[in-house]
Amino acid sequence: MLISLDRDDLHKIVVLNPKGGSGKTTLATNIAGYYSILGPPPMLVDCDPQGFSTRWVDKRPDNKSEVHGVAAFEESIAGFRTVNIETRPETETVIVDMPAGVTNDDIRYVTYDANSILIPVLPSPIDIYCASRFIAELLLNAQLDRRDCQLAVVANRTRENTNSYTALMRFLTSLKIPLLTSLRDSQNYIRAAASGLCIYELPAYQVKKDIVQMDAVTDWLDKWQTRHLGDVDLAVEGLVEDSYSDTTSMPQHIRVVG
């Protein structure tokens, strides 16, 4: 699915990992909550037919800051490959929550104009193996230039002293991709999700640790316009050699949704 926005001055954040249950929606909704508190209201684009992000927006209490939800999955269910999205004049940030099991084409289309791509990864050996393969494919197929520093990983529900975590760290270090933080396994995420909230909106004494961890993600996101300036020499021999030869053209726009 191609998410086509009507402006190019937006911060487009894509949260993806083809592996199910890795924490995409949890991350996407918490980021949306964070930007809604900062203002202006961000847009949360739900590409998953399960519609969990959309339900989270629907559940959001009236007295909380607004998140503008877009159920993009309705277009893909209707058979459209492209969703053209009209943003509001005040919109600055767009967060795209991707479903599990996406195709390489979908990944290429959704990431081609993304400013920030976040990949949440669970600590199990199989999840780490799949994430490593996925990241390698992403770099080779999606024409991402790592010098733009738009790709980062978030370890989710991780215990830092496990072998799997060490393996993930080693892999990411070898590719010079940042591991922003490790989000602990916390009921706070489940509580927040159930009421349309983000962890920044739960009682401070409950979420101190979670906020420190999530701040590492939001700090990285906040630097999206200048991130690449601090890190210009990230080419890793061998892996990126053929990354930019794929000249796949983008599909035509098919339909406009409001």
27 vs 172 by CB, closer to ligand ATP: 27
Which of the listed partners (ligand ATP, Mg ion, none) does 111 bind, with a CB threshold of 5 to 8 Å by partner kind?
none
| Site residues (CB under 6 A) for ligand ATP, limited to 171-210 | 183, 185-186, 189-190, 193
Peptide bond into 251 cis (omega under 30): no
Determine the interface stretch with ligand ATP among 1-9, 24-32, 35-43, 235-243 (rule: CB under 6 A). 24-32
Q: How far apart are CA 128 and CA 123, in angstroms?
A: 6
User: How big is the site for Mg ion, counted in residues (CB under 5 A)?
Assistant: 2
Task: Indicate the helix (H) or strand (E) that contains 170.
Answer: helix 163-175
Shortest Å, Cβ 17 to ligand ATP: 6
Helix, strand, coil shares of the chain as percentages rounded to 5?
Answer: 40, 15, 45
CA 183 → CA 42, 217, 233, distances in Å?
Answer: 23, 10, 28
Amino acid at 199: I
List the one residue from 11, 19, 24, 227 that touches Mg ion (CB under 5 A).
Answer: 24
Contact between 73 and ligand ATP per CB under 6 A: no
| Binding-site ranges for ligand ATP (CB under 6 A) | 20-26, 48, 52, 99-100, 156-157, 183, 185-186, 189-190, 193
